[in-house]
Amino acid sequence: MPAVLPNSCIVHCFVIEAEARDKEAATLHNIMLHQIDSHGKNEQKQAREIMDIMQLFPDQDVQWWIGHDVITGGVAQICRDESKVGSLAVFHHMSYNSYSTHKNTGNKVYEQINAQRALLQSADVVLAVGPKLTKSAESLLIEGGTESSVVEITPGLSDYEPSHQHEPFKAIVVGRLGSQDDIIKQYRLAVAAFGHAMKTYPNALSTDSSIELFGVPEDEAAQTQEDLKQLAFKHANRLVNVIAIPFVEKPEMLLGHLRSSWVCLMLSLHEGFGLAGWEAISAEVPLILSKNSGIYQHIDHIIGGAGTGCLSCVDIKGNIGDENFSESDLKAVADSIVAIALRFENVRSDAHRLKEILMAEGCDWQTAAMKVCEACEIQSIFIAGVEPGEYVKKILSSSGAFDEHVSQRGIHFEQIFDRLKADPHAHDRLVLFGGVSTALRNADAVTQYAVWLIQNRTAHLFVCYETGTSAAVRAETLDETLLATEANGLPSDALMRMQEKVKQVEKLQSNLRSLLGQEVTERIHFIPLSKPLTNYTMICGEELYIAPVLHARSTETESIRLPCRPTPYRTQFLDYMLYHLEYCEDKDAVAFLTGEIAKVKLDNKRL
């Protein structure tokens, strides 16, 4: 959220546990972590503690109290009602209507559903995680006589390094794996199917293969381990490596196990969305997925067969009896495990492709945060899904927010080069952050950069360019009917065009290095950008130029020069650049550019 919010907006996050290093790291992103003691306290007392903490910040007006379904939504509701400030937003994250009857008796089910319905009705904004829970929230509101709209939020895929597997074969299950949860989570099915696969297809899985289960309650771990070993033995007719692991608080530990797994299993009888499976997709780990899940519906809706074809999808039927799974469930899951083991390289390529497609469709955290801001009408300059020109209008409608507005970004290119030529010593930095157009990388541009860098021995050139996922997402935004094949050799095919631009930027780097000596080239920095951009930014000395990422060539996009004085927009754009630099690999160049941006922010305060 802070990455898309005004710099003056602070997010206060209340948690049960927070180490000092967590609090310090959060502060760097305009987040304040507060640890509260919820043990033995009802919602009223928890809300009182939160409101007492917020009174320590009298200069900060609370705009929104945001709760997580019935887990913390009730506390957020009390905070809104008793403080009489701000509005209430609730994330709908689970559907009692869909699964509670499998776990509880009639009265308990009735109480849970009623409490959830009442909470959603009290909210000013209802946010639902994925398509399945969006329908659930809409149904609950209609049942309660309310027809408020529900905003669907798709969680972002995490920017993990791709998975890296080694022999022997290993499967993983992640989630709430208590004894009362199996009817829904079907983790015993995962273990039984793994054993069945080892028995039925001994050539596919070696005897050293293993299955890990993360999320077993601490007080049940020993008994669960023994029960699952016996279950696996029953279906494999041999001992199987089954490892039941209690809840892991350090995400990096779990991520290491996930990335080294050959397959992740999410076999839920019902899953509102399925964050465990979403994490597997983030890590590019092959996934066996229940069709009755929000993930499956989301991928099927936005991509269709091209997306679901990259998964192993199973229809889990469940069972009433000694086990919660049917014979057909057992065989379907076992067959899926074996299929992945036998054609693993192809399946891993499918997992990589699936993540690429989803990222191109906007399944990133920045887009998710922007949708929350839009739903809550929180001001954000990074707009998701707007029409061309809307972005420019937002800044133009703000008094004093800009110094100059031009119809084409190319005009600002010319102005920048004129400034460097007229007084090279007046500008110590030139930063091109995305959208490195032909005019910024051709022979004339090389000459302009070279002369300026030679004349000004303190000057630095930074060229930050889109590559990988960032370039692929940009290709998705381009309207190929607006792209003409030009003399510079760029094709009209959007993806091929972006790939060719990457090559030409790399050629620009080579041309500068061959033309200039080491003393000068040490002041030239090329930084690949991996995360998709919503705007292109240029810094010339203290001047800041902004252009939105639209459907046409970046040269032809409208451009705005912001004032060289402190303004909310100016600070936000500089912070936005810093946010993207966190994900870049060239740490030395990034550190240098981060320092230059910090100087610009400091100089602005002095103006």
Same domain, 80 and 124: yes
Mean pLDDT of 380-403: 63
Task: Report the SS3 class of residue 267.
Answer: coil
Q: At 214, which helix (H) or strand (E)?
A: strand 210-216
Mean pLDDT of 263-280: 97
Q: What is the pLDDT of residues 421-441, one digit of tens each?
A: 999 999 999 999 998 999 999
- CB neighbours of 443 closer than 8 A, spacing ≥ 6? none
Tell me the H-state helices in 213-364: 221-236, 251-259, 275-282, 294-302, 305-308, 327-342, 344-360
Q: What is the pLDDT of residues 590-599, one digit of tens each?
A: 999 999 998 8
Tokens of 98: 């869909």
Same domain, 196 and 322: yes
Yes or no: say if 190 and 165 are a contact pair by the CB < 8 Å rule.
no
Angle (CA) 231 233 238, round 5°: 170
Position 380 scores a pLDDT of 60
Same domain, 73 and 218: no
Position 37 scores a pLDDT of 85
Task: Report the SS3 class of residue 108.
Answer: helix
Position 489 scores a pLDDT of 65
Q: What is the pLDDT of residues 503-543, one digit of tens each?
A: 999 999 999 999 998 999 999 999 999 887 878 999 999 99
- Nearest alpha carbon to residue 337 among 291, 293, 290, 288: 288
Amino acid identity, position 422: A
How far apart are alpha carbons 523 and 588 in whole angstroms?
A: 12
- Nearest alpha carbon to residue 14 among 75, 57, 95, 58: 75
| Most confident segment among 63-72, 356-365, 385-394, 566-575 | 63-72
Position 345 scores a pLDDT of 94
Amino acid identity, position 92: H
Same domain, 224 and 351: yes
Position 303 scores a pLDDT of 93
Angle (CA) 432 434 438, round 5°: 80
How far apart are alpha carbons 284 and 278 in whole angstroms?
A: 10
Position 532 scores a pLDDT of 79
523 falls within a domain:
yes
- Nearest alpha carbon to residue 459 among 558, 592, 556: 592
Same domain, 51 and 8: yes
How far apart are alpha carbons 30 and 170 in whole angstroms?
A: 40
* Beta strands 263-266 and 170-174, pairing class: parallel
Q: Is a pLDDT exceeding 50 seen at residue 41?
A: yes
Q: What is the pLDDT of residues 339-373, one digit of tens each?
A: 999 999 999 999 999 999 999 888 988 889 888 98
Same domain, 446 and 585: yes
Give the 3-state DSSP-derived string for 490-558, with helices as H, strands as E and coil as C: CCCCHHHHHHHHHHHHHHHHHHHHHHCCHHHHCCEEEEEECCCCCEEEEEECCEEEEEECCCCCHHHCC
- Nearest alpha carbon to residue 535 among 369, 371, 368, 380: 380
Q: Is a pLDDT exceeding 90 seen at residue 420?
A: yes
Same domain, 123 and 223: no
Q: Is a pLDDT exceeding 60 seen at residue 607?
A: no
**How many other CB atoms are found less than 10 A from the CB of residue 547?**
25
Q: Is a pLDDT exceeding 90 seen at residue 263?
A: yes
Q: Domain range holding 266?
A: 170-363
Same domain, 396 and 511: yes
Same domain, 414 and 521: yes
Q: What is the pLDDT of residues 548-577, one digit of tens each?
A: 766 556 667 788 998 887 776 788 788 888
76 falls within a domain:
yes
Same domain, 231 and 90: no
Position 177 scores a pLDDT of 94
Mean pLDDT of 442-456: 95
Tokens of 565: 């004085």
Same domain, 222 and 147: no
How far apart are alpha carbons 571 and 556 in whole angstroms?
A: 25
Q: Is a pLDDT exceeding 60 seen at residue 382?
A: no
Distance of CA 90 to the CA centre of its chain: 20
Range name among 302-306, 399-403, 523-527 with the lowest pLDDT average? 399-403
How far apart are alpha carbons 547 and 535 in whole angstroms?
A: 6
374 falls within a domain:
no
Yes or no: say if 368 and 153 are a contact pair by the CB < 8 Å rule.
yes
How far apart are alpha carbons 67 and 557 in whole angstroms?
A: 40
Backbone phi and psi for residue 407, each to the nearest 5 degrees, phi listed first:
-75, -25
Position 385 scores a pLDDT of 46
384 falls within a domain:
no
Q: Is a pLDDT exceeding 90 seen at residue 283?
A: yes
How far apart are alpha carbons 597 and 607 in whole angstroms?
A: 15
- CB neighbours of 103 closer than 8 A, spacing ≥ 6? 180, 181, 183, 184
Overall number of domains in the chain:
3
pLDDT-based confidence at 225, cuts 50/70/90? Answer: very high
Position 484 scores a pLDDT of 58
pTM: 0.69
- Nearest alpha carbon to residue 11 among 66, 52, 48: 66
- CB neighbours of 538 closer than 8 A, spacing ≥ 6? 412, 416, 430, 431, 432, 433, 544, 545
383 falls within a domain:
no
- Nearest alpha carbon to residue 215 among 281, 276, 286: 276
Residue 271: give its domain's CATH number: 3.40.50.2000
Mean pLDDT of 205-222: 94
Residue 430: give its domain's CATH number: 3.30.870.10
Final residue before a domain boundary, out of 121, 153, 185:
153
Q: Pick 383 or 256 by higher pLDDT.
A: 256
Average pLDDT of the chain? 89
pLDDT-based confidence at 17, cuts 50/70/90? Answer: confident
Position 386 scores a pLDDT of 47
Q: What is the pLDDT of residues 124-156, one digit of tens each?
A: 999 999 999 999 999 999 987 877 789 999 999
Yes or no: say if 267 and 316 are a contact pair by the CB < 8 Å rule.
yes
* Beta strands 404-406 and 559-562, pairing class: antiparallel
- CB neighbours of 459 closer than 8 A, spacing ≥ 6? 424, 427, 428, 429, 430, 452, 453, 523
How far apart are alpha carbons 46 and 49 in whole angstroms?
A: 5
32 falls within a domain:
yes
Give the 3-state DSSP-derived string for 63-82, with helices as H, strands as E and coil as C: CEEEEEHHHHHHHHHHHHHH
382 falls within a domain:
no
Q: Is a pLDDT exceeding 70 seen at residue 605?
A: no
Same domain, 359 and 486: no
Final residue before a domain boundary, out of 347, 363, 379:
363
- pLDDT above 70 covers a percentage of the chain that reads 91
The CA-atom distances, in angstroms, between 132 and each of 140, 346, 357 are: 13, 30, 21
Final residue before a domain boundary, out of 363, 381, 413:
363
Q: Is a pLDDT exceeding 80 seen at residue 328?
A: yes
Q: Is a pLDDT exceeding 90 seen at residue 381?
A: no
pLDDT-based confidence at 8, cuts 50/70/90? Answer: low
pLDDT-based confidence at 487, cuts 50/70/90? Answer: very low
Position 401 scores a pLDDT of 79
